[in-house]
Structure formats: structure tokens, C-alpha cells
Amino acid sequence: MSTMTRHGAALKVENCGKTFADGTCALARATLDIAQSETLVLLGPSGCGKTTLLRIVAGLENPDAGGRVLFDGKDLTRQPIEKRNVGMVFQSYALFPNMTVADNIGYGLKIRGVKRAERAARVAELVVLTNLGGLEDRRIDQLSGGQRQRVALARAVAIRPSVLLLDEPLTALDAALRERLRGELNSLLRTLGITAIYVTHDQAEAMELGDRIVVMRKGAIAQIGTPREIYFTPADRFVAEFVGAANIIEAPIDGTHLVLPGGRQPIADSGPRNQAVAMVRPETIGIVEAPASGLTGVVDSVRFAGDRQRIIVRGAASIPLTVDAPNTIKVHAGERIGLSIEPNSIRLLPAEG
């Protein structure tokens, strides 16, 4: 209990890997620092090891020998989850069906021997905070999905945990509700200012909620950075394609230009190489009238999406380019157009390993 503060603990995950009994390696040895009151998002496709990493921090899995988990510098690696004072929100919510909303929220306090009156006060506080007023005596099966999600969150927060661990907390909800609750969750995390680790496969959630994002792939960390760093300067092709839409172009380099079938494209980010893998985000490509020199292509298809239109352009690069253009521009399939790309927005990626 000594580590308990208003804003949670600073966490250190040291050299933690996980190999299961059958020999499969779920997580390569990873080291992470999480600052006090920081929200760290573990992002990646299913099976990337993000949940395993979370469960190691929680104390639900033991790391392979040599791995350590430290809360405020204190080694808790050998402590089971019930001794770690972590608040956990599960994908299934795991609300106790035999208890009311209030009993669920107060359960951790009851286990800690907190007096009834004090418990009720804390529960009432959380009911207000999570907007659950009037539902205190409901049974769990009388709640909607969004309400259940809030109860799960309130229950995890009630114990003033050292760290809040969220395992895909919005995945079980439908799309519209997911978006709304994402906003609520974001403001709640800011209000509480608590250290949090958030696992998700949804890059939009990661962008909005994370102070920093850890992108994971096949049991290893691919990149750690702020949402902006991850989006604009992805470390490799996997990160570029997993976070947002990306055109990945392979082309020879001639000094400061990419040499493309549709023309020469100047780049800012160059190096001593003559073959490049370049990333261009669709919204950074502008459509202009076909110029005499510079990059040109032929419109293959136009898909109108309301706020913008997605245009596929052939002939400009070795692959068809995806362009997100403002919804006012009028082009049609078969039309020859010019493409203008700001040299700064082209990011060269390391060649495929």
C-alpha cells in the first residue's frame, strides 16, 4: 500500500520475455519505462504480444527468468496480482454477475477492509465520475454495454491503483458507442492523472488516448514514440502501414529525387543510397493540373466519402497511388493529372530485412 499515491506509480519493465511451456515465444525480451501518470498504449495486431506484456505487468503471467517488473523502483516480479494494487479493465469486463453495480465498484475496497461508510462514499464519488448515477442497485445483466464498460472502469479505479491496466476495453462495443466512450475515457484518464497501460489493436484509439504508443509486432516492439512520431516518422514499413493509410513506393534515387515512372519527385529526407522504400501518406499528395515537368499519372477510380474523396492514380509510381483529396476537386477516371508532394512529407524507410 505504501506505493499508493494519487497519480499512480512510475513503472519499469526490464528485460521481460515470455516463452510458453510448449516453446512458443509470445514476447521477446522487452524493456519499457512508463512515467508516473503517463498513458502508454500497446498497439498491434492480435498475437503481437501486447496482452502478454500487459499480463506480465499485472502479475497474471510470470516473465521468463531474468525479467523484472518494478513499481516506483520496487521489484514486484514475484508478487501475484492480488498483492500489486493494480486496477484492471478486461475486454469482457468480467463484472461479477452476483453483485450489484455498487457492490462491484466497492469490491476491492471491501477486500481491503475499508469501513462500510467510507466505502459507500468512495463508490458514490466514482458513480458520479463515471456517470452511473441511479444505476447503483442494478444487476449487471440489466446494464447496456457502455454502462458495463463504465462499471468496470469505476471498479478498477476505486482502489486507487498504482497503475490502471486496460485490456481492449472498448473492443466489445459497437462502432458509434466506441467512439463516444473513447472521448469519455480520454477525459477521465486526464482527470485522474493516473499511470495507465492501454492495450488495443485500434490505431485511432491509440492515437487519441496515448501519451506514447508502443507498436508491437510478432512478440517484439517495433517502435516507441508519441502518436505524432509514430504517424509521421514510422520506423519501418510495418508501422507505416499499421498506423493510418500509407503508399509504400520502391524506387531508385537520383541525388535528391525519386525516379518514378510518372516523373521525378524531389525529396528532403535522403541519404547515401540509390534505392529507396518511401512512404507517402494519402492526404499529403495534392492534385494539380498535369504539368509539363514533374509527377503525373492517370486517374483510375474516384470514391466519394463525403468529407473527402479517395482517388487511385496509376502510372505515377510503380504501384497505384492512393490520394485523399478535398471533396471539391473534380476529376474523373481516365483523366491525366499532376501530383504535387511536399518533399518533407516523404519518409524513407529502411529496406526490408
Partner 1 sequence: MSHISFVRLCLLPLASVTAAFFLLPMARLLLAGSEGPRGLAEYLAIILEPRYRTTLLNTLVLAAATTVATLIIATIAGLFLQRQRFPGRTILVAILTFPLAFPGVVVGFMIILLAGRQGLIGEVSSRLTGDKLVFAYSIHGLFLGYLYFSIPRVILTIMAAAQKLDPGLEEAARSLGASPWAVLRDVILPALTPALIASGAIAFATAMGAFGTAFTLATNIDVLPMLIYTEFTLAGNLATSAALSVGLGVMTWLMLALARSFAGSSVAAAG
Q: Which residues contact 23 (CB under 8 A, 6 or more apart)?
A: none
Touching partner 1, residues 132-171 (CB under 8 A): 155-156, 159, 165
Compute the least distance from the CB of residue 182 to partner 1, in Å: 21
- In terms of CB distance, is 96 or 304 closer to partner 1? 96
Please, which residue, 97 or 133, has the CB nearer to partner 1? 97
Q: Does the protein bind partner 1 through residue 130 (CB under 8 A)?
A: no
Contacts of partner 1 in 197-236 (CB under 8 A): none
d(CA 66, CA 56): 13
Classify residue 137 by its DSSP letter: T
Between vectors from CA 126 to CA 122 and to CA 131, what angle results, nearest 5°?
150
CA distance 18 to 25: 6
In the chain, count of helices (H) and strands (E)? 8, 20
- Report the nearest approach of partner 1 to the CB of residue 175 (Å): 23
Query: According to CB under 8 A, which residues from 103 to 122 bind partner 1?
Result: 107-108, 111-112
304 binds partner 1 (CB under 8 A): no
- Of 53, 88, 299, 311, the residue at the interface with partner 1 (CB under 8 A) is 88
Q: Does 259 bind partner 1 (CB under 8 A)?
A: no
Instruction: Give the interface size with partner 1 as a residue count (CB under 8 A).
Output: 29
Q: In what order do the strands lie in the sheet with 347-349?
A: 263-266, 257-260, 247-254, 275-280, 347-349
177 binds partner 1 (CB under 8 A): no
Work out whether 71 is an interface residue with partner 1 (CB under 8 A): no
Q: Is 222:238 a contact under the CB 8 Å cutoff?
A: yes
C-alpha cell of 262? 510518372
Q: How far is CA 111 from CA 104, 107, 117, 133, in A?
A: 11, 6, 15, 24
Binding residue for partner 1, selected from 71, 93, 238, 242, defined by CB under 8 A: 93
Question: Using the rule CB under 8 A, is 20 a contact of partner 1?
Answer: no
Question: Rule CB under 8 A: which residues touch partner 1?
Answer: 58, 60, 80-88, 90-99, 107-108, 111-112, 155-156, 159, 165
